[in-house]
Structure 1
Amino acid sequence: MSEPPNDASVEHWPLFGLRLRCDNVLLRPVQERDLPLLAAIQPPDYEHDPSAEAFPAKIWRSIGGVSSTRATGALGTWSPSSWCLDFAVEHDGALVGVQSLEADDFLDLRTVDSGSWLVSSARGRGVGIAMRTAVLALAFDHLNALAAVTSARSDNAASLGVSRHVGYRDNGVTMNLSGRGLAELTHMRLTAKDWRASKAGERVTVRGFDPCGPWFGRPLPT
């Protein structure tokens, strides 16, 4: 497993030392130095949050699926209640995508959301399932989440397939006005009870979490 960086960044921001592994897939928090490479490998079919209105490219320019504004803003506006954590995804040592985990009013709602993208060469190899499983293990087994939700266009069979594979259940359909017209979104939800019954978390190793506890409203271990 890639070792956490031994520098001042971890001392001042412990989340940079967080490492999640599921099978041969490693997740580590995105840092600014990752952005140029992520921008270079971002696939042409990448779509930002499907539930958000699409802005013209001249207004919103995503860098590697993690905008420079978002990458900086997520650190500067982080609170235990509302946060967004973007992970760089490595498969067999190569950077292949981004997996996000985020929440609003988390201390009250205990619900997380997620989003992701993968380079085309890594698709169909179980990487998408592994990276989602990794962040769900963090959410349910370490943050005590009660539920995880996700949304995808109803014609995005790959994304919906990953969600169903890891145990999400259908949770309604809505229409969204995107930059390309109306889009139907399928919403899905996974409960802590179903997650634990699946035992999927046994595939995941989480390292470096203890120093991160206060950033999620949990005390440091004694």
Structure 2
Amino acid sequence: MTWPFYDLRITSAEVVLRGLSDADLPALLEALPDDLEMDPANETFANLPPDVDRRRQLVAEVWKHRGTWSPDAWCLDLAVEVEGRVVGLQALEGEHFPLLRTVDSFSWLATDVRGRGLANLMRAGVLTLAFEHLGAEIAVSSARTDNAASLAVSYRMGYVDNGLSRTNTPSGPFELQHVRLTREAWREGGGTAEVSGVEPCLPWFGIGGGIGPEVSPEVSPEVS
């Protein structure tokens, strides 16, 4: 298959994370919340209305992540599905992953499904993929210091503070709180999800299959 992630499924209680396809884009754009800040590094199109340009940027990012995928630098976009409806996006990314075994993550949800604990289930899903199937050793994340909801998800998963940095955003400079989680701490906390369809994806992460340095996860490729 040209893009094996279409068959990847991560089931975390009521949340299903699956490889995002172009067929999901209309629903994803419908769910796009007004308070989601786009990457300040993105080019903006001055001749487009701001709401239209935000949607263009989202689609462009999805296509960019596919087109620039490398075992050494990747970003996996997963559709968040609840009760058969796409309600958000969960991403997992790695830089120099076969060497550093470190992943980062980011996500967003439609406003009408917030407050149900879905973000916790989404993060548990991608951490299960990273730690139990890809051989990751460290997971990091970051959030603005005033984003209490995002930081609460990280702390609930067992992340610990890992320093502050200052960054520019569309609404001005803000401080970011960085957090860090080890595989050992993750396993002590439990909360794994069910993962299927991962084996065809492993070479794309530089795991076996003759693409990049081999990484050997410590458990079998399927969790039940």
Aligned twin of 1:109:
100
Q: Please state if 1:205 is matched with 2:194.
A: yes
Partner of 1:85: 76
Match of 1:97 among 88, 91, 94: 88
2:212 maps to none
Distance 1:19 1:78 in 2: 19
Cα distance in 2 between the residues matched to 1:187 and 1:199: 22
Distance 1:74 1:178 in 2: 21
Identical aligned residues as a percent:
45
Give TM-score, length-normalised by structure 2.
Answer: 0.85
Give the match for residue 15 of structure 1: 5
| Alpha-carbon distance between aligned partners in 2 of 1:19 and 1:38, rounded to the nearest angstrom | 17
d(CA) in 1 for partners of 2:124, 2:54: 25
Moved more, 53-62 or 146-155: 53-62
Aligned counterparts of 1:74 and 1:189: Cα–Cα separation in 2:
24
| SS, match of residue 186 in structure 2 | helix
What is the TM-score of this pair, normalised by structure 1? 0.86
1:193-218 superposed Cα distances (whole Å, 9 cap, x missing partner): 101111222xx000001111111112
Unpaired runs of 5+ residues, structure 2, are 210-220
Residues 22-50 of structure 1, C-alpha deviations (whole Å, 9 max, x = no match): 0010001111121122112211111235x
Q: CA RMSD in A?
A: 2.0
C-alpha contact (below 8 Å) 2:24/2:86 kept by paired residues: no
| Contact 2:19 2:77 (8 Å CA) reproduced | yes
In the alignment, which residue of structure 2 is the partner of 1:3?
A: none
> Which secondary structure state, in structure 2, belongs to the residue aligned with residue 44 of structure 1?
coil
Paired residues, number = 206
* 1:120 CA drift (Å): 1.7
Given the alignment, which residue of 31, 50, 53 partners 1:41?
A: 31
1:56 is displaced (CA, Å) by: 4.8
Q: What's the CA shift for 1:53?
A: 4.9
Which structure 1 residue ranges, 5 or more long, are not aligned? 1-10
Contact 2:159 2:179 in 1 (8 A): yes
